Structure 1
Amino acid sequence: MANRGQRRGRSGGSATAGRRREIDNQGILPVLARSVREVEAAVQRGRGTSIRSRFQAIALLVREERQRVKNDPEIGEANRADLLKRLDGVAMILAKTAAREPHLFDLLADDAVPSDEVRMLKREMTQAAGLEAEPEPDPVTDEVAAARSERRVLPRSVVARQLANPFMAPDFSAPPPPTPQTQRLSTWELIGPLLSAFERASAGAPACMDLPEPTQFTTPGGLPLMRHQAEVVEAAREGHRTFLLADEPGLGKTAQSLLAAHAADAYPLLAVVPNVVKANWAREAEIWTPRRKATVIHGDGDDIDGFADIVIVNYEVLDRHVGWLGDLGFRGMVLDEAHFIKNKSSQRSQHALQIADRLRQRVARPLMLALTGTPLINDIEDFRAIWEFLGWIDEKQPRAALMAALEQTGLTPLDPGFYPAARHAVIDLGIVRRRKIDVAADIPERRIADIPVELEGEAARSIRDAERELVRRLLSRYDHAIAARAERPEGIDHQLVEHVAILVRDETPADDAENVFTMMRRIGQAKAALAADYAAQLARQTGKVVFFAKHIDVMDTAQEVFAQRGLKFASVRGNQSSTVRQQSIDAFVEDPEVKVIVCSLTAAGVGLNLQVASNLVLAELSWTDAEQTQAIDRVHRIGQDEPVTAWRIIAAQTIDTSIARLIDRKAGLAARALDGADAEVSSADLQLDTLVALLTQALQAR
C-alpha cells in the first residue's frame, strides 16, 4: 500500500525532539504497541485463550510492516534502523507472551492460516492507524451464506452429496457399551488418578494393548506389511474401534490408519492433519487404498470432491469447515500429530473434539484413531484431550467402557493397586506403542552427537554480556529476598530459587534487557554460519544432509553459506505452497546433485520421509525433546539402511549447553509413561528450568 506506515525524515538525525514525538504517535507502530500491551496484560490475567485472534493479527502486521520498512527506498537508513528496533520490541513482547501461553506459538508459524476474525482485526487496526485497509473479501453466494454459522463455509460439492442422500440415517447397530455392575466409583474424581497412573509407571511396563495375530501380511493391493502394522489392521478387522497409535515416529502410522479404516469399512473417513503433510496423506491414500478416492480441503474447499471416501483437512482451516464436517456422516476419524490438540482451550482442540462428539452421535462405534509418536510434549496432562477425542473420558469423568473396567478392579484411588490396574484398563481401550528397536530391528540405530562451537566477535560478546546481566538480575532478586528475612538460611533455598526464576520469567524487563527466549534466538543467529559450514563439510564427505533450523533468518544464512560453497540445496519452509514443498522434497530425494535440504522445524518436523540421508544437523535447539525427536525421525524411519546421526550444534560457554541438558532430561516423560522406563520426569517449563539452573549455578559458584 502506498501510504502504509509513517514517513520518516530522510536523514534521521536532523529531526527535532518535538517532531520525533509527533512521528512516534503516527502510523501503525503506536497501534501495534498499544495492542501488544493489551494482549500481554490479558495473558498475565489468565485470559490467554481470549486473545488468540488479536495476537495473530499483531504478529501478521509486524511481519508485513517489517518487510515494508526493509524495502521502502524513501526511508533513510537511520530511520529504518529505528523503525526495525521498535518492531523488534513488539515482536519481543509477542515472544514473551507466547512463552507464558505455549499454544500461541502455533500462531507465529509461517504457515498459520488467519481466520476471518484475524483478518477483520487486521483491517480494524490498520484503519485505526489512519492507513488504507485491505479490501473486504468478496461477498459469498446466497446458498453458501445460508449455510454459514460463525463464518463457516459449505462447499458446493458437499451440498450436492447431501442432496444425493438427504435421509442419511444414524448407525446405532453396534452393541451398547458395557454397564458397570456397581457404582462404587461414581462419586470419585478419577481423571487425575488415571493420569497419575501413567506418571507412576514402573520399569518394564510398556503401554501397548494386546494385539491379535495377523491373518495376512499384504494389503488388498498386494503391498507387503510389517508384523506390527498388520497387527493393528487385524485388530480393526476384529472390531476394535479406538486407537491411540503412539508408535515411535517412522513406523508407518499413516499406512496403519488407512488400512485399519479399510478393514473396518469406516468410510467416509475424515483425516485431520498438519498443513505440511496434506499432500503426503493424499499420496499415502493412493498407495495403500488405491480404490478409495481421497480429496484434500484447501482454504474454503471450493475444489474438493464431496463424494470422496477420504476427506483430508488441516487443523488451521477446521474453523471454516467444522459445521458440515460434523454432519457429513463420517464413520471414522483420524487425528494425525494428535498432540496438536493437547491444549483444550485452543480452537483447534475444541473443533476436533466437537466433530468427534458429533460422529459418535450418528455412529455408535466409529473408528477413531489418534496418531502421534510424541503424545507427551510437556506434561502428563497432554493425554487428556486425546483421551477425550477417542471417547474414553469426558470433561469430568471416564465414559461407560472405561468406568466399567475400573469398577471391575474392585479398587479405589486409595488402594495402591488401583494405579497399575487403572493404567492397564486405559491401555486396553486402545493404546498402541511400539519402539523401533522392538519391531523394526532392521532399522539401524541412531545417535545424537553434540558439536560445541565457539562464538566469536561482537555477537559472542553481546550474548555473554546479556547472559551475565540475566544472572545478575536473578542474583539481585534472590539476595533482596534473603536480606528481608529475619534469619539467613544455611546453603541454597531451592524453593526461593524457583520463586525468583518465576518472577524473572514473568516480569517485563527494560527495553534493552533480554529473556531466555530472545537470547536463544540470538544464539541461533550467531551460530547459523558455523552450523551451515559443518553441514557443508558433512555433505562433501558423507553425502546428503538434512539441515534443521527454527528461524527464517538462520535458514537464510545457511543457504547463503551453501551457495558460497557451491552446494546445490533445496528448502522446505512454512510459507511455501504444497506443490513447491513437494518439489523441494522430490529434488532432494531424487536429484544426486542436491546435497542439502534446509528445513524449518515447524514446517518439516512432521510427516516427511527424508531417509535418503543418514546425517542431519540441528542448527538450533528445540524447546521440547518431542520436537527434536520428530525432526530426527524424518530420517530415522522405515526404509533407512544406514546408522543415523543427528549433529546438534551447541554454542559453548552459553546457556545453549544448559538447555541441551534440560531437553535430554525432558525425554524421560514419554519414556516413563509409555515405554515403562525408569526415567526421571522433569518440569514442563523449559524456560523456568533454565533460569533455575542459571541461578543455582551462580549461587554454587559464590
Structure 2
Amino acid sequence: MKVSAEAPHQLIYSLFEHEYLGLLFESFVVQLNEKGKLSFAYQNISYKNAHEFAASCDEADYKLIRLMDSMQQEEVVKPFNKKKLKPKEFLRKIFDPQAPNQQLIDLIRQNMDTKRAQILELLRNKRLFVMGSDGNPTWKEIEILPKRAQVLFHFMRNEEVTHYWPTIKYQGELVNWQFNSSYLICHDPAWMIAEDKLYSFKKGVDGYKLKPFFSKKRIIVKKAVEEVYYKKFITQLVSSFDVHAEGFDIIVERSKPQGILTFMDFAEGKMAQDLFGNKLAVEEESKIVFTLHFQYGSYRFRADNRVLSNAELEKIGDEYTFYKVVRDPDFENQLLERLKSLGLHIQSSKAVMKKTEAFDWLNRFKTTLEEEGLQFVQRQAGEKEKRYFVGHAKINIRLAENIDWFDVHAVVKFGEHEIPFHKIRKYLIKGVTEFELPNGEIAVIPRSWFVDYGEIFSFLEEETQPDSTTTSLILKKHHIALAQELNENKLLKVSLSDKLRKLQDFTQIEDYPLSTYFKGKLRPYQQAGYNWLRFLNEYSFGGCLADDMGLGKTVQTLALLAHRKEAAEGTTSLLIMPTSLIYNWEVEAKKFTPKLKVLVYAGTHRIKRAAQFSAYDVVLTSYGITRIDIEILKSFYFDYIILDESQAIKNPGSRIAKAVNELHCNHRLILTGTPVENGTMDLWSQMNFINPGLLGNQNSFKKQFLLPIEKQADTDKIVKLHATIKPFILRRLKTQVATDLPEKVINVRYSSMTAEQEKVYEEVKSRYREKIAQEFSISGLRNQQFTLLRGLTQLRQLANHPRLVDKGYTGDSGKLEDVIHMLDATASEGHKVLVFSQFVRHLAIIREYLEEKGMPYAYLDGTTKDRREQVTKFQEDKEVKVFLISLKAGGVGLNLTAAEYVFLLDPWWNPAVEAQAIDRAHRIGQENKVIIYKFISKETVEEKIMALQERKLALAGGLISTEESFMKSLSKEDIDALLD
C-alpha cells in the first residue's frame, strides 16, 4: 500500500523471524490517521527511496535503513553465492540438516549478530514493533528501555554441589524474565525482550550466559568437576561481572593506583674516548624504551592490559578464595593523556625514543611528573651495568660584543658536575651523544642542545690571545641575527650596543649625509637604503640590496660610492655586471656622480694591466671578463666589489662564482631583484660571497636548510633562514615605497585552442601521461623529472602554437589570433607594447606577422648585438609601437618607460621573472598607467601550472622556484593533475 509523503506519516521498525537467518529488522513508513495514530497504510522503504520521506528521517534513520538493507537475504548471500543461485535456494543448501556447511553458517550468524548489535544501539528513541503473522509491521509494539539492566551471578556452595543462577535487575527492581516466553534478540552483547520490553545490559554481558536460564531455574556443578569449573568459568565471571557468593570468599582490592615508568637501553652504542680520556659512547641507532605499568597494592598491570578488573583463584585445602582487583580507568587514561601531552606516546604499554630525545624529555619533565606521583625506574639491558645520569642538565652561554666579534663565555653542568664548554661543543658538532661523568654515571647530551645550539656552535671560531697560548671561542658579528634569536628564546644572553641592535630594523638607522660628490636627490626610501649601506660599511658587513626592479638600486649604490671617494680617497671599487648593463651604469654614473673617475674595463681592446685601476674611483666590468681576466683582477686590492644581477653567481660550483670569490677587497655588496631563482642554494652562494661563513659551508647549509625547505616544506627552517639573513638583505616592494608610480593593472586573457590545435595537444598529452605512468611504476628509475619537464615544455609550446613543436604544422593557434588582435588594437590607438616570450620561436611567429603587415618593431633576444640601439629605437621612435623581447635576455637591465602595455605570451615557471619583465615598463620615470596582459590557453597545462605555482609559492614567499626546484616539489597527485 502506497504512503503519501505529503500527508502525515511516521517511520517505524519491525522485527520478524527469517527461516534461516534468525531475527531480522525491516524499516517501514506508516501513514498517520486524523488523530495522529498509526493507520493500516504502510510501505516498506529502503535506502534507495528513503529520501522521499526525508522530513521524517534523521541521520540515525539513514544508518538503520542501510544496515537493515544489508541484512536482506539477497545481500547476505551475495559474497558467497558464486553460482548465482536464488537466495532462498542457496540458504536451503547451506543450512541443509543432512549436510550443513557449518563454517559458512557460523560466519553468517556472526555477521548477522554484529549487525543486530549495531541496529539495536541506534534504535534508542525510535519505535520498534514485532511483525504479525500476516505481515502487519505494527502488530505489537516493544518498549525500548533507556537504561541498561544489571546482571548479578549467584553461586551457593555446599559440601556436595555448587548452585549457579543469574538474576536481572532494572532500576533496582527484579525483572521477571524466566519461564514467560522471553527471548534474546542478540547474543554478543546480550539484548533481550521480556514482557514486551527491550533490555540491554551493563558490562557487556553475552547472551550465552543467560540463554540456559530462560527455561531452567539454576545449574548444578558437581563436586567432581568443581575445581576445573571454578578455575575456568567462575574466575572469569568474578573478574568481569557482579558475583554474589556463599560457600567461598571474594576479596576485592580497591587501592589507589600508581603509575610506574621504567626505562632501559634498546641497543648498545659503540665506545670511543670520553671527556677525561677514558670511555666515550658514540650512538648510532641507540634508543631508550619506556614501559608504563599501573600498580594496585601488590598487583601490577601493563598499560596495554585494559581489563577493568582482574581475578585470581587461590585454593587452600578444600577452601576457595578469589582475589579481585578493580582498576581505575579514569586515572589510567588521565596519566596516558598527560604523558601524551608531554610528548611521550605510549602504545601497547611502550614508547621508544632516540636516546638523546629520551634524556632531553627526562631532563625536562621527570621532576614535575614525580611531584604528580609517577614513579621512574631505571633498568639494565643485558648483564653489563650502565648507570645513566638522570638529573638536571643545563647550559648557560653569554656573548659579549667586542670590536670585530662576540666573545663567548659558557658554563655547562650535569647535576653538580661542571664540564668544559669547548669539549661539549666538539661533541655536539661531531654528533657524540653521551660521555662518562667523574662518578661513573653516563651523561646523555639532551637532543634539544643539538637542535638549539648545534648551528651556532658550528660557527664559533677559536682565537688565540696575543702573547699567550690561551685559546678562547669567538663568534663573528655577522651572525648577529642567530645570536639575537637565541637571546629572544632565552637560550643565551647577548650584550649588544644600541647601534648594532638597530641592524635588525633598518628604519631605526640614523640618517647619513650625502657626499658632495653625489649630484641628485634621493627619494625617502632610497635615503633609507643609503643609510643601510653606510651602516653595513661601518661594521664591515656585506649586504644584498634586493629592491624591486625600478626602485633605483643603481642610484643608491652610486650614492655610497660617492661617499667612499670622500672617505677613502685613492681607493678603487669594482662593479661586475652582465655586459648589457655596462652602458646603463656608465650613463647613470655620469648623471649622478660626474666627478667619479670611471673605467670601463671591457671589450677586446681593453688594457690588461691591474696597475691602471688605481687611477680610477670605479671600474666597470662584466662577468665574462672577470672569468677571463681573473688573474689580473685578483692581483689588485679593491675597496668595494659590487655584483649587479648577482644571481649570475647562484651556482657556487660555476667558474664565475669561484672567480669572484678569489677577488680581494675591504667590502662586498650585491644587487639583485631575485636573490633566489632556481633554489635555496642560490641564496647560499650569494650570501657566502658577501659574508663568508654566515650560512656555514655548503654541506652544512644543505643539511640545515636546503633539504628541509625544498624536500620537506619545513616552514620553521624558512623562518630561521630568513632571520639569519634578514640584517644583510634589504628588499622593498614598489607597493610599499614607490607610491608615486602610476597604477599597474594585470589582466589574464584566456584563449581557446582551435580544434586542430586541441587535437595535437591531446595526442601529445596522452603520450606523455602514459610514458610518465610507466616510468613511475619502475622502481629506481631516475629520469622521470626529465621526461616530465620535456613533456610539460612541449605542452606549453603547443598551447602557444603547434609550430613551436612541429614546423610542418599549417593550422591556426587560438592564442596567436588573440595576440594579433590585441597588438593591432593597441598599436592603432598609438600605444606602445612590450611582448615577452620564453620561446624565441614564438617571437619569430609574431615577428613574421609584423613584417607581413609592415609594422615597424624593435627586437631583442640573446643573440642581439645592437641591444642599445633597439632600446633607443623603441623609446624614441614614435613609429615603433612593438618591442619583441626574449624573457631571459630582456628581463633585466632595461628602462622601457615608453611602453604602456606589457604582453606576456606564455606563463613562466617563476612569477618573479615575469615581475622583472613587467618592471621594464613599470619603474621610476613611467608616467602612464601600465596594463599587463597574461595570455593563457584554456584547459591546458598553462592554467594548471598557474594554480600549482600559487599553492607552492605560498610556502616561502621570497624563496622562489624555477624549473628544477618546481619539478622537485611536484607530488604524484600534482603530476596527475597537470596531465589530466
TM range (shorter): 0.5 to 0.7
Q: Deviations over 1:459-509 (max 9, x none)?
A: 54323210121122234456x57xxxxxxxxxxxxxx9xx99x65324599
Describe the SS at the equivalent of 1:473: helix
Indicate the residue corresponding to 1:244 in structure 2.
544
The alignment status of 1:427 with 2:713, answered yes or no, reads no
The alignment status of 1:504 with 2:784, answered yes or no, reads yes
Indicate the residue corresponding to 2:772 in structure 1.
474
The alignment status of 1:295 with 2:592, answered yes or no, reads no
Shift of 1:561: 1.8
Shift of 1:269: 1.3
Q: Indicate conservation of the 8 Å contact 1:546/1:599, yes or no.
A: yes
1:549 is aligned, of 807, 824, 837, to: 837
Cα distance in 2 between the residues matched to 1:422 and 1:210? 21
Shift of 1:207: 8.4
Q: Classify 1:670/1:477 alpha carbon distance in 2 versus 1 (closer, same or farther; 3 Å).
A: closer
Indicate the residue corresponding to 1:177 in structure 2.
404
Shift of 1:389: 0.7
Indicate the residue corresponding to 2:890 in structure 1.
604
2:740 is aligned, of 417, 421, 442, to: 442
1:190 is aligned, of 433, 455, 458, to: 455
Describe the SS at the equivalent of 1:588: helix
Which amino acid counterpart does residue 284 of structure 1 have in structure 2? E
Shift of 1:298: 2.9
Q: Indicate conservation of the 8 Å contact 2:830/2:881, yes or no.
A: no
Shift of 1:347: 1.4
Which amino acid counterpart does residue 451 of structure 1 have in structure 2? R
Q: Deviations over 1:329-383 (max 9, x none)?
A: 210011111122121111121112222xx32xxxxxx232111121122433322
2:623 is aligned, of 312, 315, 333, to: 315
Shift of 1:237: 4.2
Cα distance in 1 between the residues matched to 2:585 and 2:454? 39
The alignment status of 1:386 with 2:686, answered yes or no, reads yes
Return the structure number with greater strand share.
Answer: 2
Which amino acid counterpart does residue 224 of structure 1 have in structure 2? K
Q: What pairs with 1:488-567 in structure 2 (closer than 5 Å)?
A: 503-506=783-786, 515-526=791-802, 529-530=816-817, 531-541=819-829, 543-567=831-855
Shift of 1:544: 0.7
Cα distance in 2 between the residues matched to 1:438 and 1:211? 17
Describe the SS at the equivalent of 1:464: helix
Q: Deviations over 1:99-152 (max 9, x none)?
A: xxxxxxxxxxxxxxxxxxxxxxxxxxxxxxxxxxxxxxxxxxxxxxxxxxxxxx
Indicate the residue corresponding to 2:946 in structure 1.
660
Cα distance in 1 between the residues matched to 2:825 and 2:956? 34
Q: Deviations over 1:525-565 (max 9, x none)?
A: 44574434433323333611011122322222212222333
Which amino acid counterpart does residue 455 of structure 2 have in structure 1? L
Shift of 1:595: 0.7
Q: Indicate conservation of the 8 Å contact 2:517/2:596, yes or no.
A: no
Q: Indicate conservation of the 8 Å contact 2:875/2:898, yes or no.
A: yes
Indicate the residue corresponding to 1:696 in structure 2.
976
Shift of 1:236: 4.0
Cα distance in 2 between the residues matched to 1:262 and 1:217? 8
Describe the SS at the equivalent of 1:182: strand
The alignment status of 1:632 with 2:912, answered yes or no, reads no
Shift of 1:253: 0.5
1:283 is aligned, of 568, 571, 587, to: 587
Indicate the residue corresponding to 1:347 in structure 2.
655
Q: Classify 1:624/1:696 alpha carbon distance in 2 versus 1 (closer, same or farther; 3 Å).
A: same
Q: What pairs with 1:6-25 in structure 2 (closer than 5 Å)?
A: none
Q: Indicate conservation of the 8 Å contact 1:264/1:367, yes or no.
A: no
Q: Deviations over 1:279-304 (max 9, x none)?
A: 11211221221111223333555258
2:760 is aligned, of 453, 456, 462, to: 462
Q: Classify 1:222/1:288 alpha carbon distance in 2 versus 1 (closer, same or farther; 3 Å).
A: closer
Shift of 1:617: 0.6
Q: Indicate conservation of the 8 Å contact 2:481/2:724, yes or no.
A: no
Q: Indicate conservation of the 8 Å contact 2:749/2:933, yes or no.
A: yes
Cα distance in 1 between the residues matched to 2:956 and 2:598? 33
Cα distance in 2 between the residues matched to 1:617 and 1:445? 16
Q: Indicate conservation of the 8 Å contact 2:515/2:562, yes or no.
A: no
Q: Which runs of 5+ in 1 are unaligned?
A: 1-174, 201-205, 360-365, 399-415, 482-495, 674-679
Cα distance in 2 between the residues matched to 1:560 and 1:684? 32
Shift of 1:397: 5.5
Q: Classify 1:280/1:222 alpha carbon distance in 2 versus 1 (closer, same or farther; 3 Å).
A: closer
RMSD over aligned CA atoms reads 3.9
Q: Indicate conservation of the 8 Å contact 2:909/2:961, yes or no.
A: no
Q: Classify 1:393/1:543 alpha carbon distance in 2 versus 1 (closer, same or farther; 3 Å).
A: same
TM-score, normalised relative to structure 1: 0.58
Describe the SS at the equivalent of 1:638: coil
Q: Classify 1:681/1:335 alpha carbon distance in 2 versus 1 (closer, same or farther; 3 Å).
A: closer
Indicate the residue corresponding to 1:87 in structure 2.
none
Q: Deviations over 1:568-594 (max 9, x none)?
A: 2111222223xx211111111112211
Q: Deviations over 1:74-108 (max 9, x none)?
A: xxxxxxxxxxxxxxxxxxxxxxxxxxxxxxxxxxx
1:651 is aligned, of 932, 937, 942, to: 937
Indicate the residue corresponding to 1:686 in structure 2.
966
Which amino acid counterpart does residue 843 of structure 2 have in structure 1? M
Cα distance in 2 between the residues matched to 1:275 and 1:666? 34
The alignment status of 1:325 with 2:624, answered yes or no, reads no
Cα distance in 2 between the residues matched to 1:507 and 1:237? 49
The alignment status of 1:223 with 2:520, answered yes or no, reads yes
The alignment status of 1:261 with 2:541, answered yes or no, reads no
Cα distance in 2 between the residues matched to 1:622 and 1:545? 19
Cα distance in 2 between the residues matched to 1:388 and 1:326? 18
Q: Indicate conservation of the 8 Å contact 1:208/1:431, yes or no.
A: no
Q: Which runs of 5+ in 2 are unaligned?
A: 1-401, 411-420, 430-452, 460-478, 486-502, 699-714, 803-812
2:511 is aligned, of 203, 211, 214, to: 214
**Identical-residue share of aligned pairs (%):** 24
Cα distance in 2 between the residues matched to 1:264 and 1:340? 26
Q: Indicate conservation of the 8 Å contact 2:642/2:670, yes or no.
A: yes
Describe the SS at the equivalent of 1:374: coil
Q: Indicate conservation of the 8 Å contact 1:261/1:367, yes or no.
A: no
Q: Classify 1:688/1:264 alpha carbon distance in 2 versus 1 (closer, same or farther; 3 Å).
A: same
Shift of 1:690: 6.5
Q: Indicate conservation of the 8 Å contact 1:548/1:631, yes or no.
A: yes
Cα distance in 2 between the residues matched to 1:506 and 1:422? 30
Cα distance in 1 between the residues matched to 2:906 and 2:480? 32
Q: Classify 1:439/1:217 alpha carbon distance in 2 versus 1 (closer, same or farther; 3 Å).
A: farther
Structure showing greater radius of gyration is: 2
Q: Indicate conservation of the 8 Å contact 2:543/2:729, yes or no.
A: yes
Which amino acid counterpart does residue 234 of structure 1 have in structure 2? N
TM-score, normalised relative to structure 2: 0.43
Q: Classify 1:196/1:548 alpha carbon distance in 2 versus 1 (closer, same or farther; 3 Å).
A: farther
Which amino acid counterpart does residue 558 of structure 1 have in structure 2? I
Q: Indicate conservation of the 8 Å contact 1:217/1:227, yes or no.
A: no
Q: RCO (CA 8 Å, sep 6+): is it higher in 1 or 2?
A: 1
Cα distance in 2 between the residues matched to 1:432 and 1:226? 16
